Amino acid sequence: MVERPASAVKELVENAIDAGAKSVEIEIDDGGRAAIRVSDDGCGMARDDALLALERHATSKIHSADDLVGIATFGFRGEALPSIASVSALTLETSPADGAGTVVRVIGGAVTEVADGARRRGTTVSVARLFHNVPARLKFLRSARSEWRAVADAVTSLALAQRGLHVTLTQDGVRAMTLPGATSLRSRVGAIWGGAYADALVDVDDVAGTVYVTGLVERPSDVGTRTRRAVLVINGRAVRDAGLVRAAEAAYRSTIPAGLRPSIFLDISVSAESVDVNVHPAKAEVRFRDRWVVERAVENAVRRALGTPASSHVVGTWGSNGTPSVADERVLLRSNAHTLGPLDPTPEPETRETETVPPLVQLRRTYLMYEHDEGVVLIDQHSAHERVLYEQFMNRQPTVQRLLFPLTLHLGPAEGDAFEENRELFEKLGFEIEGFGGHTLLVRSVPMPHERFDAERCLRETLDALTGDRMPGTATRHERLAATVACKAAVKAGDTLSAAEMRALYLALGRTTLPAHDVHGRATIVRLSWDELERRFGRR
Ligand SMILES: Nc1ncnc2c1ncn2[C@@H]1O[C@H](COP(=O)(O)OP(=O)(O)O)[C@@H](O)[C@H]1O
Ligand SMILES: [Mg+2]
């Protein structure tokens, strides 16, 4: 169970937390191979309890049978302290109140000394010469540096889970981390990795039934540019759970290139009865009564976060500490999705959103620009339209045009085969196509994304991409085809858009679930803050 210094540190810090500590000091020498010391200001132990605690299966944490259901504390097996003591030279100094206390020394599991020792309320456990009597374990310890890294990782996870705790970590006498008790995850992350790192993360806050998901996740445009970190906290404890990490990552689908992994810091609350955290001896894996429900809640929560303005690319700072102002919600992004139309220059009668669209300017026949309270917002017209079409295709609500004169396409055998294989998917995208003998297709209806749309060219290029396996790397074939057709069908850089088309694109983008990201993992929106401009012009 105690495999390396990091696992001993984790057990000792969890005991401190269970003891109600407000502050924990952790000192590590030689990566924990020479010494580990964990001091807390928790409830401490009376002498009898201290001696009992060093015996196997002594735990003070089960008071009733109910405690076995939905364990709120970190351990209830009463094994950590004795098993660490059995493979080290351990000193336990503890006191339930300031003043008189107890010192117990144990070597290789045998108590060698019990003495008085004055100290303030709390407990200090010093572990020296870990595994000195277990050569097999000792042999498998890595270098001091990698053991130290594992310790630092474990402490970081614990600190993120227990944000109120004051934590210090010292390596060979040098302070490596000082974390004052924090009130929010953002400030904790900022204390660990810096304010700029923390400010660039997007808030997650969503509830689905009894599953409550909060936390911080990386902006898609930042993914891959910084160290990837994933921390999951369930009901207050850091866990590793590949399934939940996958669920969170699935939310990024179509916003980042395949293969990149986002940083995620998620706090998940579920009712205590629906989770069993004590199944794995290292207590890092979780068993859920209904795993699927939790995974779906996580994916939806993250996806919703990625649909907020805060997730779009920003140059400078936008609003206070990088979070969006209310104005963002008002101006660009709207959540009420109704049926999306094409970039139709004739405004639909039910469109009563004229006031919510700011004056838009087209730049370089490529970008739409508008002014915002916080700065200038630039939209890439192609990327944005691609996102709009992709979601239309995925929701099976493309605008379809029936051709007056069906289009005839003569295909080579490879394209013909690619078409046959994907026939149904093409139909979902709004193509109505009949085989016409051999590899000749008769196209009766096509999606109608905008006036300049060249359906024949789009179809040919898509079939070409299908045979050449040059599809964007998202999960399903439907998604890949939708992404490809969206890319071919979207307005291009270089297309002049009318004012009405710009407005339609703006509104349609605002109705997508992920307006800030195109389907290749690029930004659709770049926000350049006044703040940043003023800095560059030397105005501040
Ligand atoms: N830092 C501490 N402060 C107060 N009590 C402690 C501390 N560490 C351990 N204990 C006591 O020792 C017992 C045994 O600890 P441990 O072996 O980790 O088992 P468990 O935490 O699973 O109960 C705990 O139940 C607790 O009563
Ligand atoms: Mg314990």
Please give the torsion angle defined by the CA atoms of residues 12, 17, 23 and 27, in that order, rounded to the nearest 10 degrees.
10
Q: Which residue is closest in CA terms to ligand 1's atom 20?
A: 78
The more confident residue out of 355 and 305 is: 305
Which of 82-86, 422-426, 473-477, 496-500 shows the lowest per-residue confidence on average (mean pLDDT)?
Answer: 473-477
Task: Out of 7, 39, 81, 158, give the residue to mutate to test ligand 1, the one with the largest number of ligand atoms within 8 Å of its CB.
Answer: 81
Note the ligand closest to the C-alpha atom of 20: 1
Question: Of 387, 373, 394, nearest to 524 (Cα)?
Answer: 387
Q: Which atom of ligand 1 is nearest to the CA of 14?
A: 21
pLDDT confidence of 474, banded at 50, 70, 90?
low
pLDDT confidence of 473, banded at 50, 70, 90?
low
According to the 3-state scheme, what is the secondary structure of 407-445?
EEEECCHHHHHHHHHHHHHHHHCCCEEEECCCCEEEEEE
Q: Which atom of ligand 1 is nearest to the CA of 58?
A: 14
- The one-letter amino acid code at 463 reads L
Output the pLDDT for position 329. Answer: 41
Please give the torsion angle defined by the CA atoms of residues 317, 322, 325 and 330, in that order, rounded to the nearest 10 degrees.
90
Q: Which residue is closest in CA terms to ligand 1's atom 1?
A: 16
In the structure, which protein residues have their CB atom closer than 6 angstroms to any atom of ligand 1?
11, 15-16, 19, 40, 42-45, 53, 58-61, 75-82, 123
How far is it, in rounded angstroms, from Cα 129 to Cα 87?
8
Which of 83-92, 185-194, 469-478 shows the lowest per-residue confidence on average (mean pLDDT)?
Answer: 469-478
The model's pTM is 0.78
What's the gap in Å between 185 CA and the centre of ligand 2? 25
| Backbone torsions φ then ψ of 404, nearest 5 degrees | -65, -45
Contact between 125 and 38 (Cβ < 8 Å): yes
Q: Which atom of ligand 1 is nearest to the CA of 43?
A: 4
pLDDT at residue 465 above 70?
Answer: yes
pLDDT confidence of 522, banded at 50, 70, 90?
confident
Highest-confidence range of 88-92, 98-102, 196-200, 230-234, by mean pLDDT? 88-92
Output the pLDDT for position 1. Answer: 66
The more confident residue out of 66 and 496 is: 496
Which of 22-31, 177-186, 378-387, 413-422 shows the lowest per-residue confidence on average (mean pLDDT)?
Answer: 413-422
Note the ligand closest to the C-alpha atom of 53: 1
Q: Which residue is closest in CA terms to ligand 1's atom 19?
A: 78
Instruction: Specify the pairing of strand 525-529 against strand 313-315.
Output: parallel
Q: How distant is the alpha carbon of residue 445 from its chain centre? A: 41
Contact between 510 and 333 (Cβ < 8 Å): yes
Q: Which atom of ligand 1 is nearest to the CA of 75?
A: 22
pLDDT confidence of 71, banded at 50, 70, 90?
very low
The fraction of the chain above a pLDDT of 90, given in percent, is 54
Output the pLDDT for position 510. Answer: 84
SS3 286: coil
